[in-house]
A = this chain, B = another copy of it.
Amino acid sequence: MTRFALTVEYDGRPFMGWQHQDHGPSVQQAIEDALHAITGEDALVHAAGRTDAGVHALEMRAHCDVAKDIAPFRLMEALNARLRPNPVAILGCEVVPDDWHARFSCLARHYEYRIVQRRAPLTFEKGLAWRVANPLDADAMQEGAQHLVGRHDFTTFRSAHCQADSPLRTLDRLDVVRQGDRISVFASARSFLHHQVRSMVGCLSLVGQGKWRPDDMRTALKARDRAALGFNAPSDGLYFLRADYP
């Protein structure tokens, strides 16, 4: 068996998320089907993050074990050929040690949440960004975001379906960056709770609209109560950017 690490880009719009689902297509299934067509093997593909329905990835990392003798470049090209017409692309493929695990070896995960501020509906980016019709104060959002950086109990920002053992997480970065009519929220941590990024961004959008003051972010965090959550931002704007490994 050879273990391959994959770098995967995908447009999450047509998928029910990364993970296998009974009720619709998943990115994981698309890659496993392509792999089966190439190798005849039933390999599982494990990812650094199990993104939700409609969430995108620019450089998701994943791994799989293959018995067939195949070079990494050939495997990548064959996967890309078989993945059509799914909007999933294998950008990189390399042999890694047998104990390298896309999920468990991962030291940090980086997300970006994209907001477009404009009156008109989105065209090219429909489903690829969150359109907000009214102006957002990015400086206030950035100030509010800093209350969440550090090691905290993120119960307020955690989905009811979250399966993590503990609500404690260390948020290394939460930055709000404006470029013209576009606002990106960058979030980095070793790991995140289910819906954490979308929950944080939803609350920050209330700060941006002036409905919350920046330090209401701290109040919501301290409440450690899902009922204190202001708003869960839609999946459209969320991108898994990349994962770090030793």
Contacts and interface: CB of A to CB of B under 8 A. Distances in A.
Given A87-B126, A126-B87, A121 B11 contact: no
Interface in A1-32: 9-11
In the complex, which range does the number of interface residues on chain A fall in?
A: 20 to 34
Contacts of A121: 80, 83-84, 89
A242 interface: no
Contact of A120 (B80, B122, B128): B80
Interface in A129-184: none
26 contacts: A9-B120, A9-B123, A10-B123, A11-B123, A11-B124, A56-B124, A76-B119, A76-B120, A77-B119, A80-B119, A80-B120, A80-B121, A83-B121, A84-B121, A87-B123, A87-B124, A87-B126, A88-B123, A89-B120, A89-B121, A89-B122, A89-B123, A90-B120, A91-B118, A91-B120, A124-B128
Given A83-B121, A87-B123, A88-B123, 11 more contacts: A9-B120, A56-B124, A76-B120, A77-B119, A80-B119, A84-B121, A87-B124, A89-B120, A89-B122, A91-B120, A124-B128
